Amino acid sequence: MEILPAIDLRQGKVVRLNQGDFDRQTTFSEDPVSVAQGFVEAGATRIHIVDLDGALEGTPRQTNLYLSIARSVGVPIELGGGIRTHDDVEMILATGIDRIVLGTAAVENPGMVAKAILQHGAERIVVGLDANNGKVAIGGWRETTNRDATDLMSTMAEIGVKRFAFTDIARDGTLTQPNFASVAKMVEHAQTLGGVKLIASGGIGEISHLTKLAELGVEAAIVGSSIYRRRIDLSEALAEMRRL
């Protein structure tokens, strides 16, 4: 299982939110490039970046910063946050960002997601399934829809999406443990769709949580707060995943 260390950007700083609440923010660094370089030195082969300002405002806001990160590390970057139009997709993928995460756009503009896959290939497009009690949240997690995460996965798989990032918002940033039951449900549903892969996020607080996710069949896990709070040593976690 791949580990994706996370860098959440807000106003140029590396931050973490608790359960997606922008009023419960902790700032960990004012030098995102240095943080990313540290992840690569620890052995990370891909980094997950979220433009939180973009997620709030509905358009990418920290383009220069995440491009600086990408240029500085030389490993693939997975980027999400505020990517909601075809022009956003074209601009970001043209810069060399490896793959993008589409959340709100998948709910509000599925045609745009289909067009992105047609033009850039399924390997460069991830759909984010950010859920409150199984219901998809959009708009920087400020609005919860009536759409089941499994239903959205099915719809997106039909138009060619092959990879999904599932976050249980209630667990995000808590370090308690992932919602393993929900993750297992999503993995099982993905298996019924044929060739669909799942990335898990939310609540990961120790290496044993990563081991359990790997056993469930998750392709990758996004890890943030546990690294910053030194609950997980990234190099040790990567080594453990290689041993599985």
Stretch 41-62: mean pLDDT = 96
Q: What is the DSSP string of 42-86?
A: TT-S-EEEEEHHHHHHTS---HHHHHHHHHHH-S-EEEESS--SH
Stretch 82-95: mean pLDDT = 95
Q: What is the pLDDT of residue 18?
A: 83
Stretch 36-44: mean pLDDT = 98
- Specify the range with the lowest mean pLDDT, choosing from 3-7, 140-144, 223-227: 140-144
Q: What is the pLDDT of residue 21?
A: 82
Q: What is the pLDDT of residue 61?
A: 95
Grouping H, G, I as helix, E, B as strand and the rest as coil, residue 181 is helix
Stretch 116-120: mean pLDDT = 97
Tokens of 83: 């990517």
Domains parsed from the chain with CATH numbers: 2-243 (3.20.20.70)
Q: What is the pLDDT of residue 244?
A: 85
Q: What is the pLDDT of residue 173?
A: 87
- Class of residue 140 by CB neighbours under 10 A (exposed 0-12, middle 13-18, buried 19+): buried
Q: What is the pLDDT of residue 141?
A: 86
Band (pLDDT 50/70/90 cuts) for residue 89 is very high
Considering the candidates 8, 53, 88, 172, report the single residue annotated as catalytic: 8
For 202-242, write each residue's pLDDT tens digit.
999 999 999 999 999 999 999 999 999 999 999 999 999 99
Average pLDDT over the chain, rounded to an integer: 95
Say if CB 243 and CB 237 are below 8 A apart.
no
pLDDT > 70 fraction of the chain, expressed in percent and rounded: 100
Q: Residue type for 139, please?
A: G
Distance CA 154, CA 237 (A): 32
Distance CA 218, CA 79 (A): 19
Is it the case that residue 88 has pLDDT exceeding 90? yes
Band (pLDDT 50/70/90 cuts) for residue 142 is confident
Is it the case that residue 140 has pLDDT exceeding 90? no
Considering the candidates 51, 53, 88, 130, report the single residue annotated as catalytic: 130
Residue whose entry in the numeric block shows the structure tokens 């690294």 = 227
Say if CB 81 and CB 52 are below 8 A apart.
yes
Show the beta-strand stretches assigned E in 40-196: 47-51, 77-80, 99-102, 125-132, 135-138, 143-148, 163-168
Is it the case that residue 176 has pLDDT exceeding 90? yes
- Indicate if 8 belongs to the active site: yes
Q: What does R_g of the chain's alpha carbons equal in angstroms?
A: 16
The contacts of residue 129 (CB under 8 Å, 6+ apart) are 103, 136, 149, 152, 153, 164, 165, 166, 167, 186
Q: What is the pLDDT of residue 159?
A: 96
Say if CB 82 and CB 54 are below 8 A apart.
yes
Q: Which residues are 48's β-sheet partners?
A: 6, 78
